[in-house]
Amino acid sequence: MEIVSIEKKTFEMMVASFNALAEKVAALRRRSDGGRMERWLTGEEVCGQLRISPRTLQTLRDRRLIGYSQINRRFYYKPEEVKKLIPLVGTLYPRTGSRYISEDVFEEVPALLRKIGAAIKSPLNRHSVDNAKVTDHHAIIPTGETPSGLSADETTIYQMVVNRFIEAFSPNSEEERMQVRFTDGTNTFTWKACRQISLGWKAVQKGKEVEAEKKEDSDEQILSSLPNLMEGEVLPLVDAEITEHKTKPKPLYTEATLLSAMEKAGKEVEDTESKKAMADCGIGTPATRANIIETLILRDYIRRDKKSIIPTEKGLAVYEIVKDKKIANAEMTGSWELALAAIEAGKMPSDKFAQGINSYVRTICEELLSLSSEQKSYPVYRCPKCGQQSVGIYAKVAKCRYETCGFHVFRDVCGIHLSEDNIRDLIGSGRTPILKGLTSKAGKKFNARLVLGEDYATSFEFENKKGKQRGR
């Protein structure tokens, strides 16, 4: 033991300083108690109360949405500050693409399942529990609070989250499948069958999942038991018939199927390494994919037709321009993911990746600039108002290109979209053929011609009488 000698006066000054510090700490404690703050909360406690990740808490600090005190490298929070933030948590909930939860969240799952009325026998399925795969935030899960005052759409979304939550921790679904190849010496035939052993997680929405599977694979028969067949066994031919079928083109995208295709864009990539890199990323992020679609609609590249998403003439023209160019190559995303993974692993310097990006930007700019002289010219038609060859047909309107003329016809009329032929008939002969399936403001269906009046406004003309509705 080392002994240090100091002057009495110095020692007394040190004791006095320590006593003064202790008194200040005690005074701060009393002041906090008087302000109804029993103690400071740690970051871990705040994350637990608000059900947010440490990264989200950091974001709240950076945006000055929560007050805090810092001692050394640790942050402390007032309980009243945290309480004020609780009503805002729903609006501040981070966008996440993670489908996994952490171990600490998994500990709360049994209690949450009881609150939402789901009876699942232990042990719970753990396939969605992985600390390493939790990104900015864990997967979206119910809080256990009883919902009230929800709209129909909000109720649907809430129920989707609850059902998927219950399914995630339910037992595995067990099935037995059989695929048999028969041959008559010349031709080979394939037969598929499936037997359900245990529904497992499919029991949560029993019926819906089964029907979905039937639609997915219509060639597979669902049987209560599978036949006991042996390889090389000879079977008697009972009956045979020849049927003719036609292959159908892929259906138009809906918003739901388009979002799914963007998420799984890597399936269309040919390069094996890029395909692997894109397996978990696709085009865009869960937070941006819907906005990408809305942007394309806003810029008239695509449009909604009932539930379907279809390209506009403008969109098809852009597609013809860029379809073979690097800017439209989905493999680019995969190659960038590979490069970023290499940088993270220390196998590639970041400046090399930056050089590749600069080269890519130069290439796509040169490609696009070289296309200016090759752009498609669209036909124009004679304007019924000014007589000039100046009417262009666009995604939402047909209009004269001379501003002083002002002639225009909107293509969306009473729930239907006028075709180019309809527009040409209208501006050429002054009327369209009978338009079927028009919808009035009262919601009633009717059929009528669209006619062009002397004032170049449109009105309806019915097939059996010449009376016209109010101009549009």
Same domain membership, residue 368 and residue 258: yes
Q: What is the mean pLDDT of residues 324-330?
A: 76
Which of 374, 403, 427 terminates a domain? The answer is 374
Residue 35: pLDDT above 50? no
Q: Is residue 350 part of a domain?
A: yes
The letter for the amino acid at 149 is: G
User: Can you give the CATH number for the domain in which 349 is found?
Assistant: 1.10.460.10
Q: Is residue 243 part of a domain?
A: no
Please name the residue ranges forming H helices in 169-254: 208-216
Q: What is the mean pLDDT of residues 356-382?
A: 74
Q: Which domain holds residue 423?
A: 381-461
pLDDT of the residue at 432? 92
pLDDT of the residue at 37? 41
Both ends of the chain: CA-CA distance in Å?
100
For 451, the enclosing helix (H) or strand (E) is: strand 445-452
Backbone angles phi, psi at 256, to 5 degrees: -65, -45
Residue 376: pLDDT above 80? no
Q: Is residue 159 part of a domain?
A: no
Same domain membership, residue 345 and residue 361: yes
Give the residue from 443, 434, 420 showing the smallest Cα distance to 462: 434
Q: Is residue 138 part of a domain?
A: no
Same domain membership, residue 355 and residue 331: yes
Give the separation between CA 40 and CA 62, rounded to whole angstroms: 19
Give the separation between CA 170 and CA 316, rounded to whole angstroms: 46
Q: Report helix, strand or coil for 40.
A: coil
pLDDT of the residue at 6? 66
pLDDT of the residue at 65? 76
Q: Is residue 448 part of a domain?
A: yes
Q: What is the mean pLDDT of residues 220-227?
A: 87
Same domain membership, residue 451 and residue 428: yes
The letter for the amino acid at 161 is: V
Same domain membership, residue 308 and residue 358: yes
Residue 361: pLDDT above 80? yes
Same domain membership, residue 317 and residue 360: yes
Same domain membership, residue 348 and residue 387: no
Give the residue from 153, 161, 192, 160 showing the smallest Cα distance to 176: 192
Report the domain count for the chain: 3
Same domain membership, residue 214 and residue 179: yes
- Top pLDDT among 456 and 4 is at 456
Q: Which two tokens stand for residue 373?
A: 């002289």
pLDDT of the residue at 167? 92
Same domain membership, residue 322 and residue 349: yes
Residue 75: pLDDT above 80? yes
Same domain membership, residue 346 and residue 279: yes
- pLDDT tens per residue across span 96-112: 667 888 888 888 888 88
Residue 452: pLDDT above 60? yes
pLDDT of the residue at 217? 46
Which of 347, 374, 401 terminates a domain? The answer is 374
Instruction: Please provide the average confidence, as pLDDT, over all residues in the chain.
Output: 79
pLDDT of the residue at 93? 52
Same domain membership, residue 314 and residue 288: yes
Give the separation between CA 100 and CA 135, rounded to whole angstroms: 9
Q: Report helix, strand or coil for 450.
A: strand
The burial class, CB within 10 Å (0-12 / 13-18 / 19+), for 316 is: middle
Which range has the top average pLDDT, 81-85, 156-160, 288-292? 156-160
Give the separation between CA 90 and CA 104, rounded to whole angstroms: 21
Which of 374, 408, 438 terminates a domain? The answer is 374
Q: What is the SS3 string spanning 128-188? A: CECHHHCCCCCCCCCCCCCCCCCCHHHHHHHHHHHHHHHHHCCCCCEEEEEEEEEECCCCE
Q: Is residue 278 part of a domain?
A: yes
Sheet holding 253-254, edge to edge: 253-254, 308-311, 302-305
Same domain membership, residue 199 and residue 257: no
